[in-house]
Structure formats: structure tokens, C-alpha cells
Amino acid sequence: MIRGEAFRITILLAAIGALAALVFGEIESAGRHSAWTASELALLRSLSIDSLPPVPPEPSNALADDRRAAKLGQQLFFDPRLSGNGQVACATCHQPGRRFTDGLPKARAIGTARRNTPSIVGQAYSPWLYWDGRKDSLWSQALAPLEDPAEHGGNRMAYVRFIATDPEYRASYEQVFGRLPDLHDERRFPPAAGPLPDPALRASWLAMNPRDRRTVNEVFANIGKAIGAYERRLLPGPSRFDAYVQAVVDGDQARQREALAPAEVAGLRLFIGRAQCIQCHNGPLLTNNEFHNTGIISYPGDLPDRGRYDGLRQVDEDPFNCLGPYSDATTDDCSELRFARRGPELIGAVRTPSLRNLQGTAPYMHKGQLPTLADVIEHYVTAPEAMIGHNEAKPLGLSRTERDQLEAFLRTLSAPVAMPAVGESAP
Amino acid sequence: MPAGRNVLLFLSVVAACIGVASAAAADGWVSSRGLYRIAVNPSLDPIPINRIHRWMLEVETAAGAPVQGAKISVTGGMPEHDHGLPTAPRVTREPSEGRYQLEGVRFHMNGYWEMTITISGPAGRDTVVIPVQVR
């Protein structure tokens, strides 16, 4: 009986204690709006847009920071005449209103592309382009869709002819890159040719003198260099998250509360802590631009994507890479390509995307496999076995509330695109 | 957390701090069998995240003589996460006696890394593990 009474009292006290811990814990956490440790604060600052260094130089493109080149590139970016059917511009899939993406699982132009359209905003900071890093510069990347039969579906000889025959483009091109070659002799420079799967175009290309092929490649590369000069100016602007970090740094609680709601702060805590997002989504662009296998399931009907494993082989063989004859870089400038990591751990690995481009860019992942942010978080909570290679991520023990908090935080990273010098939309 | 693991964690944190502090120190690191002494000078200081850069390695014998013409290989990784470096750094030249230029170093995550440098020189083959804290 006494033992029973004591037991009941113990239970009661424990319950009161638990309730008190809950209540005071909540009060404490609400009052501790800015209670970040010094190392947490250092992490927050490392993620802030204020920590973003100036756009790194692109030595493989001597005109990367030339304003006239950027202006020409902007015109080309929005011009559907740069396609096989006259209807596809870069902006067809990289739509400014959708943060330079298209809202589709896989890009659709003349046909359907292999993967999801990535945003261009902030890409100037990445040593690698594409989900599989098969390109190592913005300018070199810009060339590939132009000749892809599923995308712009054209050929380099026709593009070079177009620039040479359009009076406005001809003048702009020559202002930036110098005199265009004389292409009047159609026996040397046929109307259409390129090293493409199409047998007729390929045969025309191979029939050309190697010197003439090189001449055409130089102008073609310059088209890419102009587009790259435009694209590198597309940068993310400051978000609510950045305002919050500044308020924390300033110790201004009112501004902290104004910038982020408690659930968003809780999500941020998870982001840099238990959810381990910061492992790969680090730095002010919230990406390490590296390649990771996180066990994303294959797109329905597709074989598992080998990702970086194949991408590295392609960039090695690409004549438009940093070490190639059309690059303006010295060997020393091409460290990323020369010292790229190889090996089977790259099977199924794709590039970490920036989280500053989440708003309006669903569906997510390299083939748009996950329709919403909630699906993305769910994927990392589960961390399923990879279909190919090895999933680097481990399952996360996040409650329903925590998943919602994490999603709420991710939404605070939204911000308009910042565009120094040239405009975002069609000229 | 078991006490042993605590001690290990403490030691690794201490080692990491020492690593940062003495990355450019003249006395440097002694290889595991005591054959070589190595000092490292990263071209970027403090070592940033996500930026490829170079290290200058200075290799001496235990007696302090520069080691010329050694074969040096470097691997690295994050022991806590069980993964390697995102790049494959290599020694590309020896600009002066005992000084070796290591190119292609990049760290893609914040935290504790280890760089394992293997030196094959006249005295034999030996390895040194250098702790690196990236913030």
C-alpha cells in the first residue's frame, strides 16, 4: 500500500517534471531566438550570400567579362533562330520566369532531353556543368544543346553561317571577336555540317579540310563564349535567410523575428545540424558542386543513370574543354580537369544543385523524379538503397514536424535573380 | 559516449587545431617511421571550402637535409564520413631541392580531414598523416 502510494507520487512527480521541461523548454527555445553557438554562427555566415566571393575568373573564355560579349550572348540566348527548326532558343527551356528552368521533369524542345533542365543562376561558380559534369565551362556547355537533335537540333556550320549572314549579329560578333572568316565558297564551307549522329551532316563535316573545320569550330566556340559571358552574370539575390543571418550577426532580435518565423529557424537548425544537409549544400550558394550518389530512383522506363562516371569520360574527350584548342586557358588554369577524381564511386553520382534556386523550379532531381520539396525531404529521411552504385546518404530520423520545419526553412532561400550590367529577360 | 571515444575525439580535435596552426610551421610533421620531416604550405590560408588550390611540400631527412627527387603520393579524406577527396591531387614539380608542388587540392565539406602523404626517398618509404580542419 505504502509502496503503491510512493509509486503513484513518483509517477505524478515525473509527469509534472516532464510537463515543466516541455513548457520551460518551449519558452526557453522561443526566447533563444538567436542562441547560436560560435561555431553555428560561423556556419550560418558561411552560408550567407554576403560570403559569396566575386564571380571567379573563367580563363578558358578570354571575353568572359566583356560587356559587349555578354550583350551579344544575351541576344543569342533568347533567339530561336539558333535552332534547326527556328523555334528553340536557350530560353525555351531556361525560362527567366522560372529561374531559368522549365517546370518539366525532363527538358522538352524539338524532342525530349535526357535530364531535367538545371537553373543557370550562380552556375559561374561551378567548375562543372550539367548534372554529370560533362562540361567544364559555361561557354562549352552552351554549345552542346545547339547540336543536340532533341534540343536545338541544328549544326555548327549552319550556326556559323547564320552569324555571318545576319547583318546585326555579324557586326556585333566582329566587334567582340574580330573578323569573321570568308565562308562564301560552299565547296569548302557547305550549308550544313557537323560531327553529329546524322550521317549526311557528319559526311559533309568529314569531307571538309581540317583547317576549315577548325575555322568553323573557332566561330562556334565564340558563340558559346558570348552566351557564357551573359550567363555568368546571372546571380542569386539576397533572401530572407540572408537577412536573418545579418540580424543574428548584429544581435538584433527584432530583425531576426521579422526575417524568419520560429519554425523556419528550427528548420535552419536541422539543416546545419541533425539533417546534415550542409554536408553537401554548403557555402553561400548552398552547393559544393560535387558529385554524389544519393540513391535517387531511376526515371520510369530509363536505365539507372551512371551520372558522373560517364560525364568525366565525356569531358576528357571534349575538344571544347579547358585544355582543348578552343580554350583561352593555360594548362595551369585547368586544375579541375587535370586533377579530377576518377573511380567507381562516381557511378550514379550527380552534381549537388544550389538550394538558392528552389522556388519555381520543381520537379526536383536530375530527371525531375521528385515532384515537391516534401518528396525530396522524404527521400533523404528514407535514404533508399541506390539502384546503381552506392547511396552515400544515411536515413535521417526526422519527425513529421521536423520535416515541415526543414521545408519551411528551404523556402526562406527564395530571392529574385540579381543581374549586374545586363538584363535577365529577352533584350 | 564511451570514455575511450571521448578521448579519441578530444585528441582528434587537438590534432586538428595543431594541424591548422602548424600547416605552415617550419618544424612540420615527422613521418610515422621517423624517416622524414615534412612541412606543408597551402596556397590559400585559411584553407577554404570548395576552392581548388596548391600546397608546397617541404621534405627533409630526420637530420634536416632537403630530400631531392622523392616520389610523393597523396590521398585524403574525411575519416568521420568514410569518403575521400573530391579531386586527385598530384605532385607536379620540384621547383627547388626538397620542395614539391602538390596541385589539385580541394575540400568539399566543412570539418576534419586527413591528408596522407607517402614519401619514397633515399632513406626508404614512409607516410605522414596531416590533419586539416576546414571551416
Assign residue A197 the CATH number of its domain: 1.10.760.10
Residue A10 belongs to a domain:
no
Written as one letter, the residue type at B99 is R
The three three-digit cell numbers of residue A244, written as one number: 536573418
The length of chain A is 427
Same domain, A143 and A248: no
Residue A314 belongs to a domain:
no
Per-residue model confidence (pLDDT) at position A6: 43
Max Cα separation, chain B? 48
Q: Where are the domains of chain B?
A: 3-134
Residue A1 belongs to a domain:
no
Per-residue model confidence (pLDDT) at position B27: 65
Give residue ranges of A with CB < 8 Å to any B CB.
42-43, 46, 127, 278-280, 282-283, 288-291, 335-336, 338-342, 345, 392
Structural domain of A81: 67-232
How many angstroms separate the CA of residue A339 from the nearest CA in chain B? Answer: 5
Nearest beta carbon to residue B109 from set A282, A336, A338:
A282
Is the CB of B17 inside 8 Å of chain A's CB atoms?
A: no
Residue A183 belongs to a domain:
yes
How many angstroms separate the CA of residue B64 from the nearest CA in chain A? Answer: 31
Q: Which residues of B touch A339 (CB under 8 A)?
A: 52, 87-90, 103-104
Q: Of A232, A264, A294, which closes a domain?
A: A232
- Asked if residues A177 and A222 have their Cβ atoms less than 8 Å apart, the reply is yes
ipTM reported for the complex, 2 dp: 0.84
- Residue range B63-108, pLDDT digits in tens: 999 999 999 999 999 998 878 999 999 999 999 999 999 999 999 9
Q: Which residues of B touch A282 (CB under 8 A)?
A: 49-50, 108-110
Q: How many CB pairs under 8 A join A and B?
A: 53
How many angstroms separate the CA of residue B30 from the nearest CA in chain A? Answer: 27
Q: Which of A207, A189, A192, A181 is nearest to A158 (CA)?
A: A192
- Asked if residues A392 and A292 have their Cβ atoms less than 8 Å apart, the reply is yes
Per-residue model confidence (pLDDT) at position A102: 94
CB contact set of A387 (below 8 Å; sequence gap of 6+): A295, A297, A298, A304, A348
Per-residue model confidence (pLDDT) at position A128: 98
Contact B49 A335 (CB under 8 A): no
Is the CB of B60 inside 8 Å of chain A's CB atoms?
A: no
Per-residue model confidence (pLDDT) at position A210: 98
Same domain, A201 and A153: yes
Residue B127 clears pLDDT 70, i.e. is over it? yes
- Number of domains within chain A: 2
Nearest beta carbon to residue B103 from set A288, A335, A392:
A335
Residue A330 Cα distances to A15, A221, A333, B63, angstroms: 71, 17, 5, 39
Q: Domain B3-134: which topology?
A: Immunoglobulin-like (2.60.40)
Is the CB of B101 inside 8 Å of chain A's CB atoms?
A: no
Per-residue model confidence (pLDDT) at position B83: 86
Q: Which of A216, A231, A224 is nearest to A160 (CA)?
A: A216
Q: Would you place residue B6 in the very low, low, confident or very high pLDDT band (cuts 50, 70, 90)? A: very low
The pLDDT averaged over each successive group of 10 residues in chain A (427 residues) is 42 46 41 76 97 96 97 97 98 95 95 95 97 98 98 98 98 98 97 97 98 98 98 96 98 97 98 96 97 90 93 97 98 98 92 94 94 96 90 92 98 87 56
